[in-house]
Structure 1
Amino acid sequence: MTPLSHTVVFLLWMGCATCKASAGAACEDPPLIDFGEIVSGHKSAYKESDRVQYLCNPGYTLSGSERLTCHEKIWVPGPPQCLAPCTITKQQLEAQNLLLSNGQRRTFLIQSGQRQEFMCTTGFKLTASPIKQCFNGHIELPSCVTEMPCGSIPKVPNAQIEGRNKEMYEPGETIRYQCDAGFLTVGPPEIICREGNWTAPPFCEDVSCGAAPEIPNAYITSAHQERYLPGARVQYECDSNFQMMGGNYVTCTNRKWSQAPTCRGKGGKCGPPPVIENGDLLSFPMQEYPQGTTLEYKCPSLYVLEGSQYITCTDGQWTSPPVCLVACAASEEDMGRNNVELKWVPERKLYVRSGDVIEFQCKRGYLEDPASSPFRAQCVEGTIEYPRCKPGRSAKVILPVSENTQMMKLKLN
């Protein structure tokens, strides 16, 4: 064999050896990580598809994949990290006036990524969210600031407080109200001192009843009072020649009297007719009326009679009387407060009957308020809901002009 042949054979042998070496060693040693180590799969040489597993030191949290695989000479998906926990000491909590959410104060660890809820000690309040998250050894503790004390407690009419009244109350202190007899507590009965102010106090609603109802042809036998507590009873007796129909008493329940009894005339006769507000009988009233008697009522001018104008004595009782609905007066003072005036009528004061409609418009220099009620207002039993106008951009202040003209009334038929 010639020297050239020996050279070719040597080169071929060296090339094959290099290929075998490359095929046998696919990856270098896996990367080392801080605060952790490889716990399985460790070798002196690594080939394709070999795997290793990492584990963090106690207290540290692994971020990323705990397993790496040798693939095409690199370790995938990349080395993990071991994130440090957060240490919170008792001294840190005391310095910040903080407690743990369970009310304790002690040294403890929070794993990276975990959340912890805090609270302030008595007399302090949080200025931000009470929940904070630990990340790789760092956690931002919330801040507590001093709460302001509260002054004297709010006065609630018809209520008493439980406990001693003071001039100054500490943050978090609670006061409880007790409504007087005949009053119902509306809203939470307790108030709390927070941020220098008291929470909203309750309201004591009057649930007592006023004077007992008057019953035609009857009189009250129990003691007369101007105000009755819930549960109180008032008893009645009928006049002579009248008979009680139903129970002989009424009961006060939540500001209302129960259904009153009636006194029916014996032999079908009726007593004096009922009196109606703002209305009159067209005949002189008597103490007794025979069965079948019919009487007529009339309302004053501008009042509207609602119901039948007649009542009839039937089986010792009068049928239901009518009602006189009160008129409305659209006055210059009321219109001036709302910056409106009458649209079609020139008078400064207008009288209308219940149910009639009055139309308003804005005064010069004013615009309709978007939140206003309709400008066509209806008289409802003596009440008008006025619309409102607000000053326009070019509105000018117009001083009132003194006039000696007499107020006029518009009579509607």
Structure 2
Amino acid sequence: MTALTQLPVTLGDVMEARKLLEGVVEETPVEQSRALGRMVGSEVFLKCENLQRAGSFKVRGAYVRMARLSAGERARGVVAASAGNHAQGVAVAAARLGIKARIYMPLGVALPKLAATRGHGAEVILHGHNVDEALAEAQRYAEETGAVFVHPFDNADIIAGQGTLGLEILEQIPDVDTVVMGVGGGGLLAGVATAVKARARELGRPIKVIGVQAENAAAYPPSLAADALVPLKKVSTMADGIAVGRPGQLPFSIIRELVDDVVTVSEDALARALIFLLERAKLVVEPAGAVGVAALMEGIIESPGTTAVILSGGNIDPMLLLKVIQRGLFASGRFMSVRMMLDDRPGSLAQISRIIAESDANVTRVDHTRIGGSISMGDVAITIDIETKGHEHCELVLRNLRAEGFQPIVVH
């Protein structure tokens, strides 16, 4: 194991970063979640970094990185690549420091994130179909023009800036036992682990630090197992803020030494967590910011004790939020869409409606189709969206439909 003094970022670096950030970032609030605490059997606190300037923790690292540029480097400007949060963090920091910023974003970037980044004063160039392609173009531009490339996570100043979150958590929740957060490239996890583990040694008591990844974008578990960076062949998750196919070298060198575990959660678990945060905590959080809550709700993290969960960002496209809410309701058994064939005769649809109503469920939409490749003459295909009250209630509705001769197929 590497000696702690040899790690690329130290507690002293994080404390220096905090001095730079005074008056620049908000000390975001901590909210106790009694509902989540009841699920895990201990106190749970939510560190609301979704309420940070520019909507995420990213401004911390971006500002520290850019504040340390020389006069000559500032004159050349900065360049970055991001699908959203890092872009906005760099744009806010650049505006504050009076530095020209060019940011490459993928062609399919969410319009609210694009508008927000431009609104902070950065020049935005749309390039490529994913962040990796935008990143390559940003690096090419930096080499060609001399602009300073601001990496989203693989930089010591970035890591130190993100680590200031760990210092805040320890001050706001002095008896914390476990700190949980999402991880993509690893800058946040590495920075927080640096601060928390150093303070834990000073306090003479253990504090766990756990990272959480979306299971379809989880590069850290195989990399940690191999003790080497293992890139993913494919990344596919609604949590675009942590959709990173290859860990950063600097964060990885810290995480493998300091972090207790990196676990994964499913897309359905993510959707349920977002619904929970909306309904029970009254907080709008993006999928990447909700992975820690998802891990607790799924019981993946055992015996966490007093727990702090970092809600790392709240920049979610309303259209994605709409889709996630629907998926979350389906995953929780509160929404069901069924398709079935029936005779094209008067009263058939009314009979189905009666069965659903008598099952104490509510029809929210009906699609009625008489023509199509799989529809025979005299038949009709219907798809019905139904509001339900849980998985057992869904099964009751399906049983009652089948009892009267219908063959419903759940399609969503």
TM-score above 0.5: no
Larger radius of gyration: 1
Question: Which structure dedicates a bigger proportion of its chain to helix?
Answer: 2
Choose between structure 1 and 2: higher strand proportion.
Answer: 1
- What's the TM-score bracket when you normalise by the shorter of the two chains? under 0.3
TM-score if structure 1 supplies the norm length? Answer: 0.19
